[in-house]
A = this chain, B = another copy of it.
């Protein structure tokens, strides 16, 4: 039995994996694999339609927004957001809360001016900058809701006079929020929504078509909207697994239901980190992520033995990112609270042994 705390591609629900494997062999009784059927077949179109409907239902997407399943990961969206939203000669505002935010703003520079309105770079991104003014002359303001590497999360979204563009790759579907606060939301699927290879985009229709820029078809949100995410062959299997994962989430009580579990998991783990004298948290307490829990050992000599200790207990993927060090326990939607307790028990046993 493995306890998968990997940062992404991350853990998926066991029953989703079982259904996915069945679909690879014989999809919905067609006698064919989901990997070898036409994306224009009624069987696959039903999958895509259900995936879109589940996103709309689970996120309570208001009228006037489109839901897309695209390829290329969030890194492609770093470029597509400014390509579609930043007018020639215009300006975009960015909050730099981590290296992914930094990569996003670098891509925007290919398309216009960038104003970094706040950054936490000087303290290695251990908090979320919240004290900034939104420049009303910018085309949009870009934020990252959860910073996987550092274990920080913006706990409270804000109202804005200009469209808010948000990279939600590592916490979408983990907590309730109001889609109406955003102009564009994007998220690589491989944390809470499915496997690598598909990216969710939720975009407010009326913010498009204002740049004066000609955009190639595959990079053009409007073309993708008109094609219903099927301008060309979509990543069928990744969309299928995402649909199954969203079905699973709905059965768990939807976003509100999973949020309660996520709060319980995070609380249990942070409580142990704060209590256990051998460990300490990395990120600012008010910005602690409910998805990626970063912590280090007080005594650097304990790092290797604790990793080995975890390994023996089937705890995997817990090594911290090289730019932060220590440990990172990613506790995405699909990770059961029992796995969190296995980790807490390991920390307590480790304390007994090494204190």
Show the binding face of A for B, using Cβ within 8 Å: 1-2, 4, 6-12, 17-18, 20-22, 24-25, 30-33, 35-39, 71-76, 78-79, 103, 106-107, 110, 188, 190, 194-198, 214-219, 231-238, 241, 314, 316-317
Known interface pairs A36-B4, A233-B190, A234-B196; A25-B17 also in contact (CB < 8 Å): yes
Q: How many angstroms between the C-alpha atoms of A321 and B257 in the bound complex?
A: 46
Q: In the assembly, how many copies of this chain are there?
A: 2
Using A76-B218, A241-B35 as known contacts, say yes or no to A235 and B196 having CB atoms under 8 A apart. Answer: yes
Q: How far is the CA of A215 from the CA of B232 in the complex (A)?
A: 23
Given A73-B232, A219-B79, verify A17-B11 contact (CB < 8 Å). no
Closest to A33 in B: B17
Contacts of A236 in B (CB 8 A): 9, 195-197
Q: Name the contact of A237 in the complex, choosing from B7, B18, B31, B197 (C-beta under 8 A).
A: B197
Minimum CB–CB distance for A309 against chain B, Å: 18
Cα distance A8–B36 when bound, in Å?
A: 7
Nearest Cβ on chain B to A91's Cβ, whole angstroms: 18
The minimal Cβ–Cβ distance linking A22 to chain B, given in whole angstroms, is 8
A216: contacting residue among B37, B73, B110, CB under 8 A: B110
Residues of B within 8 A of A10 (CB): 36
Min C-beta distance of A294 to chain B, whole Å: 16
Can you give 16 A-B contacts (C-beta < 8 A)? A4-B32, A4-B36, A8-B38, A9-B236, A31-B314, A39-B196, A71-B76, A72-B218, A75-B232, A76-B218, A79-B217, A110-B215, A110-B216, A195-B237, A197-B197, A235-B235
Q: A197-B235, A216-B110, A218-B75 are in contact. Are A17 and B8 (CB under 8 A)?
A: no
Report Cα–Cα, A21/B8, bound state, in Å.
Answer: 21
Q: Report the Cα distance A214→B111, complex, angstroms.
A: 10
Q: How far is the CA of A216 from the CA of B86 in the complex (A)?
A: 15
| A79 proximity list for chain B (CB < 8 A) | 216-219
Bound-complex Cα distance A217 to B73 (A): 12
Nearest CB of chain B from residue A228's CB, rounded to whole Å: 15
